[in-house]
A and B are shown apart, each in its own frame.
Chain A
Amino acid sequence: MIDSDVFVQAMQELGVNFFTGVPDSMLGGIIAELMIRGVYIPAVREDEAVGMAAGAYMAGKVPAVLMQNSGLGTCLNALISLNLIYRQPCLLIVSWRGQGGNDAPEHLVMGEVMPQLLETVRIPHRTLAEKTAVEDLRWGIDTLKKRQIPVALVLTKGVVRGLHP
């Protein structure tokens, strides 16, 4: 399992310098580390987080937005009617709740359809693996810079230390 501080350090070293989002237990470790470093800006909804990231991008930052996959539903319109048409990139760090049907009922539908959903709206995505985490992060940053659109890195349980390791 990757420690949260190593993951955050890697993001910062790759140039990510604006962090916002809405918490998930799987993202708890990363958010705690971002807060220790004094760089986390909490949002109240995922569409707000995506909006803030878009503003920060236009002001010269490389933004990341953390959310659980249910939040993809909440911010879908912002992603497609703001980021995709205005070409405003951000790194989406999305925890994959409901993966394999093994979660609370509210996560099961999104857990099953999330990869198809990202395909449908043409958001490049990759599931982060422990062995290739830094490579995956670099792919994310390279891709968002090249394509100028949001890119999703999906976190599965047990890859980065969360609140309940």
Chain B
Amino acid sequence: MRPEEGTLISRAQAIATLLELLTDQPVVICNGFPSREAHKIADRPTHFYMIGSMGNAAAIALGVALAKPNKQVVTFDGDGNVLMGMGTLATVGALRPKNFIHVVFDNEVYGTTGNQPTISNVVPLDKVAKSAGYVNVERVLDRDDLVYEFKDMLKKDGPSLLLIKVNEFVEDAGRVVHDPVVITQRFMKAIEG
């Protein structure tokens, strides 16, 4: 069943809510609309915006988390991205980094390429993550639950996965303006120490 627009929040609303709860944590954001929307809502140097290498956001965030075990690391991912790099759910589950929070915006479509359906309507990605070994896994359908569960995950040892069912609405957001080299440099500087 496709989430009906109107009953769920949009991904942009979810991103805005999450960014209000985050401060200086590194956030690796998958390619496509998630990066563009996050960039429009709040452009922070702690954001690593991806423009290519689909399926790889969680792997990049995992690399940061393993290299900086005392820093909480967040990744904003999508259902299409998770399905493409699904092996990384297993790697995270096996390595169990305590400082890893995986947020998945699940709209059941490849939004950036024109809303072709993914298969997350029949494959519950939260259950896959739980089976793979993520410690805290929650699925939320509205803003109040999102705030409650994400605040809770920020306090807990992970790895954690928060699956947020969102509608297909796309915020009017342009491409990320920064050069990829600048994105790397300012992210490195922002997460130093």
Contact = CB atoms under 8 A, between A and B. Distances in A.
Interface stretch (A7-15, A85-93, A118-126): A85-93
Nearest to A20: B63
Residue among A20, A61, A81 with the highest chain B CB neighbour number at 10 A: A81
A47 B53 contact: yes
Contacts of B57: 51
Contacts, number: 108
Count class of interface residues, chain B: 35 or more
Nearest to B184: A86
Residue among B57, B59, B65, B191 with the highest chain A CB neighbour number at 10 A: B59
Count class of interface residues, chain A: 20 to 34
B156 interface: no
B66 A41 contact: yes
Interface stretch (B15-23, B87-95, B111-119): B87-95
Interface in A81-132: 81-82, 85-88
A82 B52 contact: yes
A86 B191 CA distance: 17
Q: Closest 9 interchain pairs by CB?
A: A55-B63, A81-B52, A51-B59, A59-B67, A52-B63, A44-B87, A82-B53, A51-B56, A55-B64
Interface of B: 28, 48, 50-53, 55-68, 85, 87-88, 90-91, 94-95, 180-181, 183-184, 187-188, 191-192
Interface of A: 18, 20, 41-45, 47-61, 63, 77-78, 80-82, 85-88
